[in-house]
Each structure stands twice: as structure tokens, then as C-alpha cells.
Structure 1
Amino acid sequence: MKSVGLVVEYNPFHNGHLYHLQASKEKAEADAVIAVMSGHFLQRGEPALVSKWSRAKMALQQGADLVIELPYAFATQKAEIFAEGAISILEALKCDSVCFGSENGDISPFLETAETLKELDSDYQDAIKYYMKQGISYPSAQTKAYQSLNTGGHTLDLSLPNNILGYQYVKAIQKQGAAISPLTIKRTAAGYHDEEFNETPIASATSIRKAIFSEENKDIQSFVPETSLYHLKQYKDNFDTFHQWEDYFGFLKYTICTMTHDELKQIYEVEEGLENRIKSLIQQASSFKDFMEQLKTKRYTWTRLQRLCLHILTRTTKEQMKLEEAAAPYLRLLGMSSQGRTYLNRIKKAVDKPIVSTLSAFSHPLLNLDIKAASVYAMIFPEPIRSQFMHSEYSTRPVQYDEKEKLFL
């Protein structure tokens, strides 16, 4: 029984994700699709539009067979650590291959680049340090360092977001000695950061979220499956909101204002005196967007600073984010189809990590971060909704979906 792994956020699940899922399954000739999905907070340091449970349901109804949560300690990290956590989960689940979308669409440059940079790692790291001393961001320094090596052969554009992630997946497979074959399919129509719709039925998640929050109340029906629309509507009806950073700004401001400089310095990713800049700018900031625009510099990307703000919001320290190894220590099962349950039954004796289906059955410091993140995610709800939401974090068992009958069990 062959499986293919996808590393996803589904924020929300849209037509491009459906294309990726179906094309990946076909390319890998897989019987089961394993989706490793970020929880309530995402890699760019922002809250997911709707909860992980709603997004897991979207995925299951459109062909995913297992949905596993990528822990907060990996999901809210730079691309390298994000990829290492995801690949470790897929390896633990005996996944045969991982398939990612890329601007390139050909796996050869990814394999060649990973091998080349492994051989030239010392020169590459020196070049990164050189460019960072010029005051540019780490991702930009990586791109310039790679270009400076004059490697020849297949050139992979590491300035493009999906190519960056794809390279990190391949690198993680090599580093972990994982028995996973990397595959890629070319992204179609919409770019990763496109903010506007085009004439095709595939739009970026960025443009879909922008439409959802727009005052014009733009229609997204053409760009997402009907099941996604249903779960979005159901979530809005139940909780009267879609999550965005502005909802949390008051909590962020309070947290920063009540922390000392020394306490701020202990927060993960607060480095190089950033605590002073954060403290000085927060007092006059009138919104999250306003604060970020003032905080942003050439050296620090919006994404890096947004993740930093998230770690402040959750009071996540450098000590708490210390990873004993670049691998997820448990597998939090969010949902499964009938096919997924069959797959899990076949391989579970060979799985060397605990499979967590309810929080009461397992404890771990990194799982405590996931629970804290869920609590912060729910802060914007009034009582008793907030308490009910947190109760569901402990009591909700993995979502089960019968794909033949098309119903949740």
C-alpha cells in the first residue's frame, strides 16, 4: 500500500490544493495521501483562518487519508526547521514519497542543489555571513550566497518561496537518511503571494483570505471546493469570526507592555537588541499592521518579525523551543478516512513514535506548546465559547471520514 506525503497549511483548502493533492497521488502512484498540516498558527507566524479541526475536515473530504498536526515547535519556524519536522513525521509513518509544488516543476535541480550545497557547505555558510553583515535579511543572504557559488549545472532559483521549501524538504530527507522519494509538480496559475484573483479557477490562499476580509465581501466560490465553503460558513456561524492578527493585537500590546526588557530577551527569536525596538514602538502603534510597518527593517523580513510577535503572544521562550533533535517526538492524529485507517493499521506496528489521538493519553513539553497555542488562538472568543473551544482541544478525537458514503462518522 503506497503512500505520498504532502506538507500543508490549507488556509483554507482551495482548488490549487485540490490539484496538488490529486496530481501528487497520481504522480506517486499512491494508494493513500498523508497530509502533515500546521495547527492553529502557521509558518509565516499568523493565525489560521479557521481551526485545525475545520481544515482537517476540508482535507479529508477532498482526498486526504491521514491528517497529522505539525507541532507548533516546527510549524512556526523558518523553512529549514519546518521541513525537518514535517519530513520526520512522514518518515515515521513509513511514507514512500513526498510531493511538493514548486515554481520549477522538475526534481533534478532540487537534488543537485542539495548535493552541491552539502559539498560546499563551508563556503556557503561563509557567504551567508558575508551578505548578512551588509544588513540584508537571512533569506536574501541565502539567495545571494547560493548565486555567488557559481555551481553550474541545473540552476534552482532559491529566491522563490516554494522552491525554498522544496529544497529544504530534499535537504531534510538527505540529513535524516529518510527512505522517502522527493517528487515535485509545477505550480499552476496563481503565485504564492498573489493578492488578486485571475481568470482561472486557481487562486492563491493569500488572495482568498484577502477577499474574505475585504469590505467588498468578494465571492470566493469559484476558487474553493464546495466543502471548503461549507466549513468556512459553519465556522463563521459557530464562532462569529475568521482569525487574523488584528484580533490579537490588543493581547500582543498588553503582553509587550507588561514584560520587562529581560523577559522579552528570553522570547524565541528576540535577538540583537530587538527587545528595545519592540518596546519603544509598541506604545504608539494603533494596529498590528501599523506596528509591523514600524518594526520592519531591511534586515528583518515581515515573516520573521511576525513569527517573533507570535512567540511573544504565546510567551514562548528560547528554552522552550530547544529541540533535542530535528524530529517531531509524537504524531498527533487529527483525522483519517477509511483508507487512512487501513493504512495506519498496516504500518502502526512499525511506527516508533507515539500516535496521539487524545491529549489525556500523552504528555510532552512540545505538546504543551501546542496546547498553549490553542489557548492563545481561542483568546478572542467570549465566554463560554472560549472554554468550550479549549474543552474540544482535549476531548475531540480524530475526525473519521467515510469517503465512499461521503459522511463523517
Structure 2
Amino acid sequence: MRTVGLIVEYNPFHNGHQYHLQESVKIANADAVVAVMSGHFLQRGEPAVMNKWARTEAALRGGCDLVIELPTAYATQAAEWFAYGAVSILEATGVVDAFCFGTESGEIDALRDAAKLIAHEPPAFQELLREALEGGVSYPSAYSTAIAAYLTAIGQEDAAGFPFAQPNHTLGLHYLIALERIKGRMLPYTIRREKSEYGQTTVTDHAIASATAIRKLLLEGGELEASRPLVPSTTFEVMQREWASGRSPVSWSNFVQPLLHTVVTHTPGQLAGYREMMEGLEYRLLQALPKLDKTGFETLLDALKTKRYTRTKLQRALLSILLHHKKEDFTADKLAAGVEYIRVLGFTGKGQQLLRRMKKEAKLPVLLSAARPPVDSRYLELDTQASAAYMLAQPGHASAAAMYRDFTDRPVILE
């Protein structure tokens, strides 16, 4: 059974995701789909609008055969470590033959060539990156600038003109860098994004919109019905159930009080110990609070944002405070050591066949529940803590039982 891997958040699973899934199956000539999906908290430092079990169900009903959780330690990181964790897990399953990601251009050659050149960051590239960062720009912008400068310096001016700075190109490049670093055997493919750009906030097509635009409809307008044309009917059914139950929607507004509680009970030195807190951000945060006219999350972000402190950077920093993610748990050495387990969130009948193969061929222990882990993993602890924090904040549905679903729930099974 030939299998293609996808790296996803599905927040929520929409028509564009279904297109990507179907095209990935075609381009990889695959018989089955394995998705590695972020859990309750996501790469841009924000909570998922629905919990991971609901999103798993939507993914399975949308065409995935096996859904694996990307540990929180990697799911909430910038592109380099997000990509490294996801690609490592797909490779570790032992059953994924190829993986496919979306890009703005649909072209992979320039990305693959650049990945081979900079995967191990030659000194000249490191120096160019350092110089770009000193210019005060964001890390993604500095990274793409350094790539172009490095390719120019080694006589590859044509390659230097590729738009590496576009968001999906940046992420795709890091997927390929990760594949180089782990010496993976999977074949990489890319397909072109259609009809909506990454992060686009408005709906401009009758059927396809970015996840960002759909979440804006759901969270700002509170319009569940308005999302119906933009998501598969199976996703809409899951969303209707989750909204009706009071479990969704979830946003940063559900976490403001516990976040502020942690901030105001910490000294600057204690805040500086959390991941992503750097360059004096702890002082800026503490100085901003007394000046706020209200304690909403957007108000706080507006008070903190600068050219250097982008929205995404700030959200990741605030998330690290909320989840008590200390810097010592996220060193480069620890992250480079890789994932320690494969946590299964759900599967179909075909996915169950893949699971049987994985039990023989996977390079890591396979977990169906956190109740009896075969490994003593700090990252699994962080996952279960993040789950408890998320479930406690569900609007109108927080309970002690919900907090510990990681230990009591089995994977979602779609017959």
C-alpha cells in the first residue's frame, strides 16, 4: 500500500484542504493518506478553534486514513522545528513513502536545491543570517534574505531570485531541510495553492477560502452558517455538533485570564525563563499591562506589537507563558534529538492496516493513549498538560473529565 504523508493543522478542515489531499494522492500515486496534525495549540501560537479529536474526525471523514499528533513541543514552533518534528514523525512511521505540501508556485526544484546547500548551515550562510537579523527584521524575513545572499555569493544568481520569503515556500523549504538532516527516504512533492493565499483574511471565492478567513467568520462574526460553502459537508456536521455542545469555538479570548494571572504573579526574571521570551520582551509586557484600558487579548497584542515583535512571535511567547514552557525544555539539542513516540489520534479501516505495519516497522513506540506510555517522555507530559489547559477553557463545557481525555479516550475510529 503506497502512502502519502501530509503535514496539517486543519483549523478547520476546509475545501482547500480537501483539494490538497486529493491532489497529493494523485501526484504521489498513493493508496492511503497519513496526516501528522498539530494538537490543541498551533504553529502561529494560537489555540485551535475545535479540539484535536473533533478535528481528527473531520480529517478522517475528509479522506485521511490515519491521523498522528504532532507533539506540542514542535507544533508551536517556528518553521524550522515545526517542520523538523513533522517530517521526522512521518519518516519514523516506516509506512509513509512520500509527502506533499502546498506552495505558492507549485515548483519544488529550487526549494530542494537550496535545502541541500543550506541544510547544515555552512559558516558563510550563518554569517549572512546573523547580519540580516541585526537589521531588525523578523526571523523568516532574515532567513530568506540570507538564502538569496548565499546563493548569489556561490554563483547561483538565478536560484537566488526564487521567492523564498513567501510563507508556504518558507515552510516547504524547511520540510526539505528537515528531510536532508534526518537523511529521510520519503519522496517530497508539492502542489500549488489555488484561489486563496496563506493567511488571507477575506473570502474571495465561493468555495475555497483560507483557514484564516474561515476562522474570522467563525470567531469575529460568530457565523457558523456562513462557513458552510467553504468546508466539506462532513466538516460542517462536526462543527455543528461541537458548536451545539458548547465545546467550540475556542480562541485566545478563552485564555486571557489564566495568561494574565501567570504574568502578574511572575517577576521579569521568571518570565524571561519561558520559551520565546527574549530581547527584553518580559519588561515590555509588564510595562504594558497597567496602561491597558481593557484586558482583551487583541488589546494586549496591539500594545506589544512592533516591527521586531510580530503578531506570530508575540503569540508564541504568550503561549509559552500560558503553558509554562521553559527554555530548558526546548533547547536546540533537545529538539534535534527528535520525537520520542508516535501518538495516534484516529484511523479508518485502511488506517488500521497501516497501524499493523507500523507496529512492525516504525522506528518509535506507537501510542494509542497517554495512559500507559511505553516511554518516559517530557514531550508527552507537555502534550497532556496542553490538552488539560485547552479542555478547561472550552466555552461552556469545561470539566475534570474533559481535562484528562488524553488518558481516557481511545483514538477516533471511522468504520
TM-score normalised to structure 2 length: 0.93
1:266-277 pair list within 5 angstroms? 266-277=273-284
Question: Which residue pairs with 2:29 in the alignment?
Answer: 29
Question: Which residue pairs with 2:113 in the alignment?
Answer: 112
Identity of aligned residues (%): 38
Question: Which residue pairs with 1:351 in the alignment?
Answer: 362
Question: Which residue pairs with 1:170 in the alignment?
Answer: 176
CA contact (8 A) 2:388 2:404 kept: no
**Counterparts of 1:119 and 1:133 in 2: how far apart (Å)?**
21
Does residue 304 of structure 2 align to residue 328 of structure 1?
A: no
Task: Call closer, same or farther: CA 1:379–1:161 in 2, change over 3 Å.
Answer: same
Question: How much does 1:228 deviate?
Answer: 0.8
Which one of 368, 392, 397 corresponds to residue 381 of structure 2? 368
Does residue 187 of structure 2 align to residue 181 of structure 1?
A: yes
1:2-401 pair list within 5 angstroms? 2-94=2-94, 95-118=96-119, 121-149=122-150, 150=152, 151-154=156-159, 155-215=161-221, 217=223, 219-239=226-246, 241-285=248-292, 286=294, 287-322=296-331, 323=334, 325-362=336-373, 363-381=376-394, 385-401=398-414
CA contact (8 A) 1:68 1:335 kept: yes
Gaps of 5+ in 2: none
Question: How much does 1:366 deviate?
Answer: 0.6
Question: Which residue pairs with 1:405 in the alignment?
Answer: none
Task: Call closer, same or farther: CA 1:238–1:116 in 2, change over 3 Å.
Answer: same
Aligned CA RMSD, in angstroms, stands at: 1.7
Question: How much does 1:301 deviate?
Answer: 1.9
Question: How much does 1:360 deviate?
Answer: 1.3
Question: How much does 1:324 deviate?
Answer: 5.6
Q: Once structures 1 and 2 are overlaid, which stretch shifts more, 308-317 or 372-381?
A: 372-381
Question: How much does 1:118 deviate?
Answer: 4.3
Deviation readout 1:100-130 (Å, 9 max, x if unpaired): 0000201111111112334873222211211
Task: Call closer, same or farther: CA 1:374–1:216 in 2, change over 3 Å.
Answer: closer
Question: How much does 1:316 deviate?
Answer: 1.1
Deviation readout 1:305-363 (Å, 9 max, x if unpaired): 10010000111101222426342110010001100111221242121211111111114
Q: Once structures 1 and 2 are overlaid, which stretch shifts more, 216-225 or 50-59?
A: 216-225
Q: Once structures 1 and 2 are overlaid, which stretch shifts more, 187-196 or 231-240?
A: 231-240
Task: Call closer, same or farther: CA 1:192–1:326 in 2, change over 3 Å.
Answer: farther
Q: Once structures 1 and 2 are overlaid, which stretch shifts more, 11-20 or 93-102?
A: 93-102
**Counterparts of 2:146 and 2:168 in 1: how far apart (Å)?**
18
Deviation readout 1:38-63 (Å, 9 max, x if unpaired): 00000000000000000000000111
Question: How much does 1:388 deviate?
Answer: 2.4
**Counterparts of 1:182 and 1:330 in 2: how far apart (Å)?**
23
Question: How much does 1:83 deviate?
Answer: 0.5
Alignment-mate amino acid for residue 211 of structure 1 = L
TM-score normalised to structure 1 length: 0.94
Alignment-mate amino acid for residue 376 of structure 1 = A
Q: Tell me the SS of whatever aligns to 2:291.
A: coil
**Counterparts of 2:367 and 2:358 in 1: how far apart (Å)?**
15
**Counterparts of 1:199 and 1:351 in 2: how far apart (Å)?**
41
Deviation readout 1:276-298 (Å, 9 max, x if unpaired): 11111123332111111111121
**Counterparts of 2:140 and 2:168 in 1: how far apart (Å)?**
13
Task: Call closer, same or farther: CA 1:364–1:198 in 2, change over 3 Å.
Answer: same
Q: Tell me the SS of whatever aligns to 1:370.
A: helix
Alignment-mate amino acid for residue 398 of structure 1 = P
